[in-house]
Amino acid sequence: MKAADLLKHIPNMPTLKKYGRVSRVVGLMIESQGPESSIGDVCKIHVQSARHGHQVILAEVVGFKDEIVVLMPYTALQEISTGCLVEGTGAPLEVKVGPELIGQVLDSMGNPFDGRALPKGLATIATENDPPNPLSRPPIHERLEVGVKAIDGMLTVGKGQRIGIFAGSGVGKSTLLGMIARNTKADLNVIALVGERGREVLEFVERDLGPEGLSRSIIVCATSDQPALMRIKAAFTATAIAEYFRERGMDVMLMMDSVTRVAMAQREIGLATGEPPATRGYTPSVFAILPRLLERTGTNEKGSITAFYTVLVDGDDMNEPIADTVRGILDGHIVLDRNLANKGQYPAINVLKSVSRLMNHIAEPAHKEAAERLRELYYLYAKSEDLINIGAYKRGTSKDIDEAIHYEPIITNFLKQGFRDHVSLEQSTQEMIRISNGG
């Protein structure tokens, strides 16, 4: 670096460093006498051990007890002891970002998971930012192709829309995200894998995403064995990376699997810091952090972030607290139905329980009419299915039900799609119009 460049950094260099000392370690928390700091600031804990020598462990300020600073480390608590020096940085967590990261798998701190050094020339950004001003958000008026017939056709998504994918475990959430990542017309994918099993990370990268999807994606991962703070930071780091590219005029696809595990990590932190459990054991801070995270995506005057958030519902209960809160914040929801998966229908999207709140504003009139027609026929069959299956319905009794029985296998076949198949938005629309017209 040239001398002139070094001189530019002098005004920003701290003139006084603030220190404290670890006084106690309780459960997941570290209590320290100092340094003077604010909630969200990163501190460096200097640890000296016989096995590893001098180490610096990063921790975040998560609360205060009188004059005591309460810290939570980004890594494990091993080897931290009373008397360890705590150095305050006076700043929240920042990560490096740039186009050079495309195709890489990163950890919650923005570092490559394979241990390689970060490329040079990257920009530094904060992981926590304010959502765009509501009055500066342009209305969503343009469709975004995701390459999945059931979504493009029946639940059309717009650029900048935020959608929840609700399902129990093992119904195909990750597989659906992989299909969207490979097939979407967005400029870039940013994928957050929060609380995933270690085995599933490489499987998702190689099997669900594939080389084609990875070449236009940035993955941020925090596995289930990592501390709660790292799992939360994975979500915020991925969102910050998506915001960086949105500011450069790109249409970004952000996918987060899953927002439920973010809520669970925040509950873990909240209980450890003394928050009272509120709804089903979730602390009040959980319901504060969710809108702060989810509202950061969407449109601004420069670009857009279209977001898909998976929600893991306990026991397939779509009304559990996290599912209910997220559904109220987002612009639509896709429900994956275990019964459909058991019948071999993939993706197992229940179009009768799913909705895109913006489809009526962005879809062409002929497309909307075809979608309404198919939905009506599908609903009629679903309502009468039990009577049909036990033989209690006699053909000719109702012209509408007879028609629904005829169209049900056709509509079901339309909603099915192979894992590696790509169907354009135009193809999906034309097929729907043909079916609705009796073709």
For every residue of 311-337, which 3-state class applies, written as one string? EECHHHCCCCHHHHHHHHHCCEEEEEC
Question: Is residue 245 included in any domain, yes or no?
Answer: yes
> What's the pLDDT tens digit per position in 218-254?
999 999 889 899 999 999 999 999 999 999 999 999 9
Host domain of residue 266: 97-362
Q: Is the pLDDT of residue 25 over 70?
A: yes
How sure is the predictor about 352, in pLDDT bands with cuts at 50, 70 and 90? Answer: very high
Q: What is the CATH number of the domain that holds 395?
A: 1.20.1270.330
Same structural domain, 258 and 355: yes
Same structural domain, 87 and 106: no
How sure is the predictor about 114, in pLDDT bands with cuts at 50, 70 and 90? Answer: confident
- Alpha carbons 255 and 247: distance in angstroms, whole number: 18
Q: What's the confidence (pLDDT) of residue 261?
A: 94
Same structural domain, 282 and 142: yes
Question: Is residue 11 included in any domain, yes or no?
Answer: no
- Alpha carbons 340 and 349: distance in angstroms, whole number: 8
Q: Is the pLDDT of residue 301 over 70?
A: yes
Question: Which of 170-174, 315-319, 398-402 is predicted with the least confidence, judged by mean pLDDT?
Answer: 315-319
Q: What's the confidence (pLDDT) of residue 3?
A: 61
Q: Is the pLDDT of residue 381 over 80?
A: yes
Q: What's the confidence (pLDDT) of residue 439?
A: 64
Q: What's the confidence (pLDDT) of residue 318?
A: 76
Q: Is the pLDDT of residue 76 over 80?
A: no
Question: Is residue 306 included in any domain, yes or no?
Answer: yes
Q: Is the pLDDT of residue 1 over 60?
A: no
Q: What's the confidence (pLDDT) of residue 12?
A: 60
Same structural domain, 88 and 103: no
Question: Is residue 2 included in any domain, yes or no?
Answer: no
Question: Is residue 60 included in any domain, yes or no?
Answer: yes
Q: What's the confidence (pLDDT) of residue 53?
A: 79
Q: Is the pLDDT of residue 101 over 80?
A: yes
- Alpha carbons 289 and 239: distance in angstroms, whole number: 13
Same structural domain, 126 and 241: yes
Q: Which of 362, 390, 409 is at the close of a domain?
A: 362
Is the separation of the CB atoms in 146 and 140 below 8 Å?
Answer: no
The chain-wide mean pLDDT, for the chain, equals 89
Question: Is residue 352 included in any domain, yes or no?
Answer: yes
Percent of the chain residues topping a pLDDT of 70: 96
Report the interhelical angle of 259-272 vs 284-294 (nearest 10°).
140
Report the interhelical angle of 399-415 vs 425-436 (nearest 10°).
160
Q: Is the pLDDT of residue 266 over 70?
A: yes
> What's the pLDDT tens digit per position in 26-41?
888 899 998 989 998 9
Q: Which of 331, 362, 393 is at the close of a domain?
A: 362
Q: Identify the CA nearest to 83 among candidates 48, 135, 125.
A: 48
Q: What is the CATH number of the domain that holds 270?
A: 3.40.50.12240
Domains contained in the chain, number: 3
Task: Tabulate helix, strand, coil % of the chain (nearest 5).
Answer: 40, 25, 35
Same structural domain, 319 and 392: no
Write the CB contacts of 187 (distance below 8 Å, at least 6 apart in sequence). 216, 245, 250, 251, 252
Q: What is the CATH number of the domain that holds 56?
A: 2.40.10.170
Q: What's the confidence (pLDDT) of residue 280?
A: 81
Same structural domain, 351 and 260: yes
Same structural domain, 243 and 181: yes
Average pLDDT over residues 267-277: 88
Is the separation of the CB atoms in 242 and 298 below 8 Å?
Answer: no
Question: Which of 16-25, 28-37, 47-56 is predicted with the least confidence, judged by mean pLDDT?
Answer: 47-56
The more confident residue out of 386 and 60 is: 60
Same structural domain, 158 and 289: yes
Is the separation of the CB atoms in 275 and 284 below 8 Å?
Answer: yes
Same structural domain, 135 and 40: no
Question: Is residue 88 included in any domain, yes or no?
Answer: yes
Beta strands of 127-264 (E only): which ranges? 162-167, 188-196, 217-223, 251-257
Question: Is residue 4 included in any domain, yes or no?
Answer: no
Q: Which of 74, 92, 110 is at the close of a domain?
A: 92
Same structural domain, 166 and 68: no
The more confident residue out of 379 and 51 is: 379
Average pLDDT over residues 72-93: 87
Q: What's the confidence (pLDDT) of residue 291?
A: 94
Burial class (CB in 10 A: 0-12, 13-18, 19+), 156: buried
Same structural domain, 78 and 165: no
Average pLDDT over residues 370-377: 94
